[in-house]
Amino acid sequence: MRLIRWLTLVLILFAAGACAEAIPNAQVGLVLIHGKWGSPPGPDAQLFSSNGFEVESPWMPWSKSGYYAKPYDQALAEVHDIVQKMRSSGIKRVIVGGLSFGANAALAYATQYDDADGIMLFSPGHMPERFYQSGGSRQSVAAARELVAEGKGESRINFMDPNQGKTEGRSTTASNYLSYFDPEGLGNMPLNATRLRKPIPVLCVMSQAEWRLGREYIFSKLPPDPKSVYLEPRASHADAPRAVENEALAFVRSVASD
């Protein structure tokens, strides 16, 4: 396993070094998105900022106090605003990444906007299609769909919100709930992998300690890109970003290379 990790790192560095010129770190921006019930900063924010990259970590509606107060598309639009501000400030390359639900958001973002130069998916989480298949969200999804169909999308519903083996009660509007939990909506990562309009460099990190879904769940469905990297570190869900810091830095530098 260590040999595979070492060879992967060498290949990433070779891909970056084989290019004629790398953009200075100060001209590379990262939007790093926190996970469910979490808060800023996003994954490895300190690592990237200490290496001279521009880093932004927004608060998202799935934070502990967010209560899904905004629909998913609006949350992604706010990420888009940050990306555009980075561009207008002179940033040449922008990478959107996240941990868990933040990884879900990074992938969803790439399906809605064409302005990210790469995405980083650390321990991708929030799987509405699997929640629905298991029956955990089916009743809430049906109730929300009925309210929306009746023109009552602003009516509030109570639902159970699963997160890493824990479940908590939540309340939001029917339309907001559907935007996150529709099994075929913006949160469906396997579908989003096929919805990408063009190839984009992707760092996909699936922790061995959890889902065991492997590269087939998301990575194999992505449009192939020569700079894309798949890793399975021996780390917990939350610790996966720290376990691949060298590879993550190398990936960012490869995206920053011309």
Q: Please report the domains of the chain, with CATH numbers, ordered by start residue.
A: 25-126+187-258 (3.40.50.1820), 127-185 (no CATH)
Q: What is the pLDDT of residues 85-138, one digit of tens each?
A: 999 999 999 999 999 999 999 999 999 999 999 999 999 999 999 999 999 999
pLDDT of residue 17: 47
Average pLDDT (57-69) is 95
Average pLDDT (50-70) is 96
pLDDT of residue 2: 55
pLDDT of residue 22: 82
pLDDT of residue 177: 98
Above 50 in pLDDT, residue 222? yes
Alpha carbon distance 5, 11 (integer Å): 10
Q: How many CA atoms lie within 13 A of 126 on its CB side?
A: 32
Instruction: Return the SS3 of 229.
Output: strand
pLDDT band at 5 (very low <50, low <70, confident <90, very high): low
pLDDT band at 16 (very low <50, low <70, confident <90, very high): very low
Above 50 in pLDDT, residue 229? yes
Return the structure tokens found at 245: 């810091």
What does the mean pLDDT of the chain come to?
Answer: 92
Q: Token pair 């200075």 is at which residue?
A: 24
Above 70 in pLDDT, residue 6? no
State what percent of residues in the chain have pLDDT above 70.
92
Predicted TM-score (pTM) of the model is 0.91
Above 80 in pLDDT, residue 212? no
3-state secondary structure 114-178: CCCCEEEEECCCCCHHHHHHHCCCHHHHHHHHHHHHCCCCCCEEEEEEEECCEEEEEEEEHHHHH
pLDDT of residue 7: 46
pLDDT of residue 18: 45
Which strand (E) or helix (H) includes residue 231?
A: strand 229-231
Q: What is the pLDDT of residues 128-186, one digit of tens each?
A: 999 999 999 999 999 999 999 999 999 999 999 999 889 999 999 999 999 999 999 99
pLDDT of residue 137: 96
